[in-house]
Amino acid sequence: MEQKPARVRIVDAAHQLMLTIGLARATTKEIARAAGCSEAALYKHFPSKEELFVAVLKERLPKLNPLLRRLTADPGAGERTVEENLTDIAREAALFYAQSFPIAASLYAEPRLKSRHDAAMRELGTGPHMPIRGVAGYLRSEQAAGRVRPGADTYAAASLLLGACVQRAFAYDATEEGRPPQSVDEFAASVARTVLHGIGTQA
């Protein structure tokens, strides 16, 4: 069987290690070893571990940002309702945070490492605030189209929607069931409906 290209192997190995031992402990040396290449070869594709982390988020996790860009560019595409669009956003966000939270959580145990990571994210022009901006931007486009109430706080609505999705990623681990009370589809529809009740034109 033909071996995958080095870059694909590196991203696959990084994704697996970051999921199992966390971003803080997944060193470039360990990632290179798991990918079957040298650390020097890894750095040919990714100048830093942060850039590799961003590649994992973009290429191996549920695609939230492309969905937001598409909806913002054409919010009413195919005559879809705001509630349907928000449900899609909430579903993708819930899946995204369920996978990204275990990866990034280990940074919070090492403040100095987190500080360096945050600085690198700023240099790369990305970070966990970007989805909030994306959802708020989408809601502003719906406001301009007259499908979200004028004066509604789009930033607060985006924060509420995504905050619920982040919380779902970890809030139920300690319960007897060990999982949220709703399926991801039920959760997404319910959160979207609740947020829309506060900002919709009929509110």
Cα distance between residue 104 and residue 176, in whole Å: 25
The closest alpha carbon to 30, from 53, 13, 11, belongs to 13
End-to-end CA gap in the chain: 58
Q: Which CATH number covers residue 89?
A: 1.10.357
Please check whether residues 72 and 158 belong to one and the same domain: yes
Measured at the alpha carbon of residue 72, what is the angle toward residues 196 and 164, in degrees to the nearest 5?
A: 40
Please check whether residues 70 and 35 belong to one and the same domain: no
Please check whether residues 12 and 92 belong to one and the same domain: no
Domain of residue 186 covers 62-199
CB atoms under 10 Å from CB of 186, counted, come to: 11
Please check whether residues 77 and 96 belong to one and the same domain: yes
Please check whether residues 22 and 89 belong to one and the same domain: no
Please check whether residues 17 and 94 belong to one and the same domain: no
Pairwise pLDDT comparison (121 vs 76), residue with the higher score: 121
Global confidence as pTM: 0.84
Cα distance between residue 140 and residue 72, in whole Å: 8
pLDDT averaged over the chain? 90
Percent of the chain with pLDDT over 90: 60
Please check whether residues 33 and 70 belong to one and the same domain: no
Confidence band of 78 (pLDDT split at 50, 70, 90): low
For the chain, what is the domain count?
2
- Asked whether the predicted pLDDT for residue 13 surpasses 90, the reply is yes
- Asked whether the predicted pLDDT for residue 43 surpasses 90, the reply is yes
Query: How far are the Cα atoms of 34, 46, 78, 138 from residue 202, in angstroms, in the given order?
Result: 54, 49, 22, 19
- Asked if the structure places residue 1 within a domain, the reply is no
Q: What are phi and psi of 168, to 5 degrees?
A: -60, -25
- Asked whether the predicted pLDDT for residue 72 surpasses 90, the reply is no
The closest alpha carbon to 157, from 169, 145, 143, belongs to 143
- Asked whether the predicted pLDDT for residue 182 surpasses 80, the reply is yes
Cα distance between residue 35 and residue 11, in whole Å: 8
Confidence band of 69 (pLDDT split at 50, 70, 90): confident
Please check whether residues 48 and 145 belong to one and the same domain: no
Place of tokens 């999921």: 19
Please check whether residues 126 and 66 belong to one and the same domain: yes
Q: What is the pLDDT of residue 77?
A: 67
